[in-house]
Structure 1
Amino acid sequence: MLRQLLWIPGTLMVLAVLGDLIVTCLQSGEGRISRAVHRPLYASLTAAARLSGRRALMSWSTPLLIMGTLAAWTLLCWLGWTLIFWSQPGSLLGSDSGTPANFAATLYFVGYTISTLGLGEITAPLPFWRLLTAVASINGFFLLTFAITFVVPIAQARGDRRRLALHLHRAGPGAQALILNAHTDHDRGLLSLTTDLHDMLNDVDAAHLNSPYLHRFHDHDRQDALDLHLPALGEALLILQGTLTGPPPQGLSRALSSIDSLTRTFERVHHARDPQTPPPPDLTRLRDAGLILKPDADFHEYLRTHAALRRRLHAMAQAGQWRWDQVAAQQPPAPDAA
């Protein structure tokens, strides 16, 4: 009797996977199954990197989370259809022996059905089960299609993230280094930190709005680390907006808006406790470089009104296991510190 009811949990599993595929791949968000897979895997990897002192372990987040998600979708779909076919004795027969398939044979049949191989070693004798076999095969085709839909945008988004991070690494790296280098060495001056970055910031922001789980992906090399360079850019733009005495560079508010959006999607994904607000930066080097800035008291009051954004920037850097002094660096690190 209990066996005949197994089609109920089996159907729920198949529907849950389909719903998760739609939410994760077609809508802007993260499905429940994907989230349930990502969180423990990401937490385990983060703990291992922190305990071992090897930040490079974080770069394994991308293959680990992708393979974990694909494995969960496949196994749940496979098990769900197996329970559906197994719930009715005699729904499947061996093509040669004509005897009812046992559980292992049913599992094998579902495996090659959802993989669309169609080997034919086990057959469904009744029209209803033949129809379900076709539905399972179509489900497997959908699973493969959505898996590709899941992986390809991640590869594209990681390319956009790396392009922005590499640009900022070469322009700085570090918040005050970004400002100093733009002011003294770039033909566009401070506009190189605002209008010149609009397209890249918009592309990265849109990708993270569509796929928030991208905030769990990290890179091995410092030059590719968006979780280091985006907080540096955010801090640099806050310094410019809060200290410059003249009109701000064109596009400054738009660039800050994109960074604010990115940090908010980060916050929704990580749900971490707010870290301490970073200390106000020492702007002596900027003044020595010839920038005319407001008094420190006015700047510190401005920073207090943007404390939430700075905490989110700090949290983003901490998620990548970077220190705030690396974010706020006034000059590029020594070669052995990279």
Structure 2
Amino acid sequence: MIRQLLWIPGALLVLAVLGDLIVTCLQSGEGRLSRAVHRPLYALLTALTRATGHRPLLSWSTPLLIMGTLTTWTVLCWLGWTLVFWSEPGSLLGSDSGQPATFAGTLYFVGYTISTLGLGEITAPQPFWRILTAVASINGFFLLTFAITFVVPIAQARGDRRRLALHLHRAGPGAQALILNAHTDHDRGLLSLTTDLHSMLNDVDAAHLTSPYLHRFHDHDRQDALDLHLPALGEALLILQGTLSGPCPQGLGRALASIDSLSRTFGQVHRHPDPPTPPPPDLTRLRDAGLNLKPEAEFLAFLHTHAALRRRLQAMAHAGQWRWDQVAEPTEH
């Protein structure tokens, strides 16, 4: 009696995987199954990184989370269809012996069915189970297609992330270095931090809105670390907006809006209390470089109104195992 009811949990597993595939690959978000896989794996990797003090371990987050997701989808789909076929004795027969398939034989049959191999060593004698075999094969095709749909955008998004991070690394690094280098060494001046970056920022923001779990991916090298350079850019733009006496560079508001959006999707993925607000920056270097700045009191009041954004930016840096001084004004290049 219990065996005959196994099709119910089996069907629920198959439907759960299909729902997760649709949400994760086609909608803007992260499916429940994917989230249930990502969170513990990411927490384990983060704990291991903190325990060893070896930050490059975080770069394994990408293959670990991708393989964990694909493995979960495959195993649950495989198990679900196995329970469906196993629930009815005699639903599958050995093509040579004519005997009902064992559980191991059913598992084997489902494996080559959803992988679309179609070996034919075990067959379904009744029309109903033949139809379900075809459905399982189509399900396997969908699983493979959605797996590609899942992986390819991640590869493209990581390329966009690295391109933006490398650009900022070479333009800085660090918030005040970004401003000083743009002011003194770039032919477009401070516009290089706003209008020149708008397209890249928009692409990265759109990718993270579609796939917020990208905030769990980290890079090995400092120059590729978006979780270091994006907070630095955000801090630089806040300094410009809050302290320049003259007009702000064109496009600053749009660039800052993209950074704010990225920080918010980060907060949706990393649901933990934000760290304290970072200390206000010392603007002596900027004043010495000849920039016309507002009085310090006005700047501090401006920073107070943007404290939430600065906390999110610091949380982003901490997630990548970076210190705030490495974001604001690094001493190492």
Q: For 1:332 and 1:179, how far apart are their aligned partners in 2?
A: 16
- The residue that corresponds to 1:81 in the other structure is 81
Q: For 2:272 and 2:229, how far apart are their aligned partners in 1?
A: 20
Q: For 2:7 and 2:142, how far apart are their aligned partners in 1?
A: 21
Superimposed CA distance per residue, residues 248-269 of structure 1 (whole angstroms, 9 cap, x where no aligned partner): 0000000000000000000000
* One-letter amino acid of the counterpart of residue 170, structure 2: R
RMSD over equivalenced CA pairs, Å: 0.6
Q: Following superposition of structure 1 onto structure 2, how do residues 224-303 of structure 1 map, counting pairs within 5 Å?
A: 224-303=224-303
* One-letter amino acid of the counterpart of residue 252, structure 2: L
Q: For 1:310 and 1:115, how far apart are their aligned partners in 2?
A: 48
CA contact (8 A) 1:277 1:311 kept: yes
Q: For 2:218 and 2:323, how far apart are their aligned partners in 1?
A: 15
1:296 is displaced (CA, Å) by: 1.0
TM-score by length of 1: 0.98
- The residue that corresponds to 2:15 in the other structure is 15
SS of 1:153's equivalent in the other structure is helix
1:50 is displaced (CA, Å) by: 0.5
Q: Which runs of 4+ in 1 moved over 3 A?
A: none
Asked whether 1:131 is paired with 2:131, we answer yes
- The residue that corresponds to 1:314 in the other structure is 314
1:177 is displaced (CA, Å) by: 0.4
Q: For 2:272 and 2:252, how far apart are their aligned partners in 1?
A: 28
TM-score by length of 2: 0.99
Q: For 1:171 and 1:258, how far apart are their aligned partners in 2?
A: 19
CA contact (8 A) 1:213 1:269 kept: yes
* One-letter amino acid of the counterpart of residue 239, structure 1: I
1:332 is displaced (CA, Å) by: 6.3
1:298 is displaced (CA, Å) by: 0.8
- The residue that corresponds to 2:122 in the other structure is 122
1:274 is displaced (CA, Å) by: 1.2
CA contact (8 A) 1:177 1:332 kept: no
Asked whether 1:305 is paired with 2:305, we answer yes
Q: For 1:333 and 1:321, how far apart are their aligned partners in 2?
A: 16
Q: Following superposition of structure 1 onto structure 2, how do residues 138-287 of structure 1 map, counting pairs within 5 Å?
A: 138-287=138-287
* One-letter amino acid of the counterpart of residue 321, structure 1: Q
Q: For 1:191 and 1:254, how far apart are their aligned partners in 2?
A: 12
Q: Following superposition of structure 1 onto structure 2, how do residues 1-40 of structure 1 map, counting pairs within 5 Å?
A: 1-40=1-40
* One-letter amino acid of the counterpart of residue 126, structure 2: L
Q: For 1:246 and 1:187, how far apart are their aligned partners in 2?
A: 19
Q: Following superposition of structure 1 onto structure 2, how do residues 41-80 of structure 1 map, counting pairs within 5 Å?
A: 41-80=41-80
Superimposed CA distance per residue, residues 89-120 of structure 1 (whole angstroms, 9 cap, x where no aligned partner): 00000000000001000000000000000000
Asked whether 1:111 is paired with 2:136, we answer no
* One-letter amino acid of the counterpart of residue 333, structure 1: E
CA contact (8 A) 1:201 1:258 kept: yes
Percent identity of the aligned residues?
85
Superimposed CA distance per residue, residues 206-229 of structure 1 (whole angstroms, 9 cap, x where no aligned partner): 000000000000000000000000
- The residue that corresponds to 1:333 in the other structure is 332
Q: For 2:168 and 2:161, how far apart are their aligned partners in 1?
A: 11
Superimposed CA distance per residue, residues 134-161 of structure 1 (whole angstroms, 9 cap, x where no aligned partner): 0000000000000000000000000000
Superimposed CA distance per residue, residues 281-305 of structure 1 (whole angstroms, 9 cap, x where no aligned partner): 0000000000010111111110000
Q: For 1:54 and 1:333, how far apart are their aligned partners in 2?
A: 18
* One-letter amino acid of the counterpart of residue 49, structure 1: T
